Amino acid sequence: MSFKDIYGQERQIAILQKTIMKGRIPNAYLFHGMDGIGKKTTATALAKTLNCTEGKSDSCDTCGACRKIDHGNHADLVIIQPQGILIKIEEIRKLQDQAKYRPFEGKKRVFIIDDAEKMNIYAANALLKILEEPGPSNLLILITSRPYVLPQTIASRCQKMRFSPLKREIVAAFLTERLALDEEAALILASSCEGSIGRALTMRDDSYIAVKHDLIKRIASSGRGTDHLQLLSLAHELGGDRTDILEKIDILKSWYRDVLLFSEMKDHAILIHPDCADMTKRFSENMTGPGILKSIKTMGNAYRAIEQNANKQLTLESMMFKLASIRQKTAGNGLSV
């Protein structure tokens, strides 16, 4: 894939191409932004362009270097990813050894470190030494969705480039043009994925839509805190794999955002989940703005707790009881909480 094939990051690509044409490529980039919006794809396209034998500001996709990079066997493109949950020092030491030499066959050796925030402290310290003396033939590209987790000593030595979430129309265009989805299904996924093509790809099977509808329906029709068994059942159904739990909390947060916007603006066009508009309308009639905001904050706290390895079931049960309590207090007589 070349720069011309990337969706929705025109400004970032224009900056990179201008830098290439001027011959002012820095020693290290930090590509940051939410997952699934093109950071790694852009990094690979940059590596292709720098090593392409025919192109100038974009790769040709046909020369030997481009084909090798497309097939993942170019000697001068090295991609480092977490092994398990961490990037260990052994991987960075390999990088150190390779960085000592000139490129084997291309013009520039490019090291892409994906999920760079997952380096352990020893790996981060080893990388810092490379950043201090990277060598003129090497380019390091760190990719992360959480730049604030990286040590400042590393982030400060990289040229930062922020990647933005994609517009709904761009994601829908990708899904229809690249995956041949029908327009209605593409728009539903594009509305729900919060600007991430990567997330849309994981959501595109029918099970996601079914899970989303069932989850929102259960929350929308649940009682106002009086049926404790029902609340415990809902919390239990949210449980399981941590990634799955976080995905479901994300769905609920984005739906509560729809509830808030609809309660204020009464406009279906601004909803993230337009296919749930009827439930959104009914639910918004029994909630106040402050109550909805407090609910979103409650879910955000639960999300962060589970992300940091808190007890999943206890966290979910607490979240469900708090949501029900907020609804009970705000629905009764419209009072803020």
| Cα–Cα distance, 54 to 62 (Å, whole number) | 9
pLDDT at 333: 47
pLDDT band at 334 (very low <50, low <70, confident <90, very high): very low
Half-sphere exposure of 320 (CA within 13 A, CB side): 27
* Mean of pLDDT values over 69-98: 90
Calculate the average pLDDT of the chain. 87
| Cα–Cα distance, 39 to 31 (Å, whole number) | 6
DSSP H helix total and E strand total for the chain: 15, 5
With 80 as the cut, is the pLDDT of residue 81 above it? yes
* Mean of pLDDT values over 128-150: 91
| Better pLDDT: 85 or 17 | 17
Taking only the tens place, the pLDDT of each residue in 57-80 is 999 999 999 999 999 999 999 999
| Better pLDDT: 55 or 156 | 156
The residue count for the chain:
337
Residues 6 or more apart whose Cβ sits within 8 Å of residue 176: 182, 183, 186
With 90 as the cut, is the pLDDT of residue 38 above it? yes
Based on C-alpha coordinates, what's the Rg of the chain? 23
pLDDT at 227: 60
pLDDT band at 336 (very low <50, low <70, confident <90, very high): very low
Q: Is the dihedral of CA 309, 313, 316, 317 positive or negative?
A: negative
Where do we find the tokens 């011959």?
Answer: 23
Percent of the chain with pLDDT over 90: 49
With 50 as the cut, is the pLDDT of residue 220 above it? yes
| Cα–Cα distance, 59 to 168 (Å, whole number) | 28
Where do we find the tokens 């007890």?
Answer: 311
11-15, 91-95, 221-225: least confident range: 221-225
With 90 as the cut, is the pLDDT of residue 208 above it? no
With 80 as the cut, is the pLDDT of residue 37 above it? yes
pLDDT band at 337 (very low <50, low <70, confident <90, very high): very low
pTM for the complete prediction? 0.72
- In the chain, the domains with their CATH numbers are 3-162 (3.40.50.300), 205-333 (1.20.272)
| Better pLDDT: 106 or 295 | 295
* Mean of pLDDT values over 134-163: 93
Percent of the chain with pLDDT over 70: 95
64-68, 136-140, 257-261, 329-333: least confident range: 329-333
Q: Which residues pair with 111 in a beta bridge?
A: 78, 140
pLDDT at 335: 40
| Better pLDDT: 136 or 293 | 293
| Better pLDDT: 56 or 143 | 143
| Better pLDDT: 239 or 32 | 32
